[in-house]
Structure 1
Amino acid sequence: FKRSGIRRKLKPETYLLQEENGNLFMNTGFRIDVSYNEATDILTFSPNGDYVRVNPKPDHPINEQ
């Protein structure tokens, strides 16, 4: 997210996922390497760390359709 405008509202930022020599990364002004481990279902952003998928609870609104 990025703050912009007079009221400094947060707006989402979108970055292109690029590949170089088989490695994925985003260029946000500095390079952020991205990797995914399918066996453990972990997404890693360097230098920000690991993100693990959370299974939503059965009564969570995201499951209601």
Structure 2
Amino acid sequence: VTVFKRSGIRRRLKPETYLLQEENGNLFMNTGFRIDVAYNEATDVLTFSPNGDYVRVKPQPETPAEE
């Protein structure tokens, strides 16, 4: 999983990649502390505990250019 965090004086986004691990059927990533990860396929929601739910953004259909 790659997440972006702001760091430094200029607050630029910096990517950080973590390995998803499985333990007793539960997914988590170790970022220095454990973050549990769950996915609900029916609602298409990804949950990071304790950081909350993330919903997939559906792309907006492109509108044809007016001629």
- One fold, TM greater than 0.5? yes
1:16-52 deviations in Å (ceiling 9; x for gaps): 0000000000000000000000111100000110011
| Aligned Cα root-mean-square deviation (Å) | 2.3
Q: Unaligned stretches of 5+ in structure 1?
A: 61-65
**With structure 2 as the length reference, what TM-score do the two structures score?**
0.73
Structure 1 length as normaliser, TM-score? 0.75
Identity across matched positions, percent: 88
| Runs of 4 or more above 2 Å deviation | 1-5, 7-11
Residue aligned with 2:32, SS: coil
Shift in Å, 1:4: 6.9
In structure 2, distance between residues paired with 1:23 and 1:55: 27
Which has more helix, going by share of residues? 1
**Greater share of strand:** 2
- Out of 31, 36, 57, the position equivalent to 1:33 is 36
Unaligned runs of 5+ in 2: none
Work out the CA distance in 2 between the residues paired with 1:38 and 1:58.
23
Distance across 2 between alignment mates of 1:37 and 1:8: 32
Residues 20 and 56 of structure 1: CA distance in aligned 2, closer, same or farther (over 3 Å)? same
